[in-house]
């Protein structure tokens, strides 16, 4: 793994429409989300993962991910991770040689749709699909660890 270089965008829900049954259901929580590092437990479909991420430096940060038994992931999420958990369905959308990951959030973050693109280098050129909206890569409210502490449903979006 090593370094994750990722940009994050809002999605225009009037243009992008998921293909039913094509996404993968995710549940994830955080064992630690201190400034400088996070330790995440995730179930993606029927697979469990433990991920350690460093603090962001622009759009890059250290990331290490390891598969763990599904039963262990379920117990960690249920018994050790603060709730609410992050619940979402992820869709993979190929576009001009790269793959966008579009997350449709559920539960406490319902109503939020984010697209992420992982890049080989921070200055890698790419084109945006027509359904991409405002970039939020530098807005920490949109980090999943932040959404688990302060869900989208509790945001004051007036104005």
Give the active site residues: 30
Compute the chain's Rg from CA coordinates. 15
Pairwise CA distance, residues 87 & 105, whole Å: 6
Q: Give DSSP secondary structure letters for 54-122.
A: E--BTTEEEEEEEEE-HHHHHHHHHHTS-SSPEEEEEEEEEETTEEEEEEEEEGGGTT-EEEEEE-SST
């Amino acid at each position: 793994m090593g370094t994750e270089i990722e940009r994050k965008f809002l999605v225009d829900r009037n243009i992008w429409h998921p293909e039913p049954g094509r996404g993968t259901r995710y549940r994830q929580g955080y064992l630690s989300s201190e400034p400088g590092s996070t330790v995440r437990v995730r179930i993606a479909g029927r697979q469990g993962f433990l991920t350690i991420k460093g603090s962001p430096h622009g759009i890059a940060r250290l990331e290490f991910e390891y598969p763990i038994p599904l039963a262990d992931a379920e117990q960690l999420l249920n018994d050790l991770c603060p709730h609410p958990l992050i619940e979402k369905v992820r869709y993979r959308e190929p576009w001009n040689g790269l793959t966008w990951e579009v997350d449709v959030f559920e539960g406490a973050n319902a109503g939020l749709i984010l697209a992420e693109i992982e890049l080989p280098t921070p200055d890698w050129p790419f084109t945006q699909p027509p359904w991409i909206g405002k970039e939020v890569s530098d807005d920490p409210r949109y980090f999943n660890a932040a959404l688990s502490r302060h869900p989208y449903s509790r945001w004051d979006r007036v104005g």
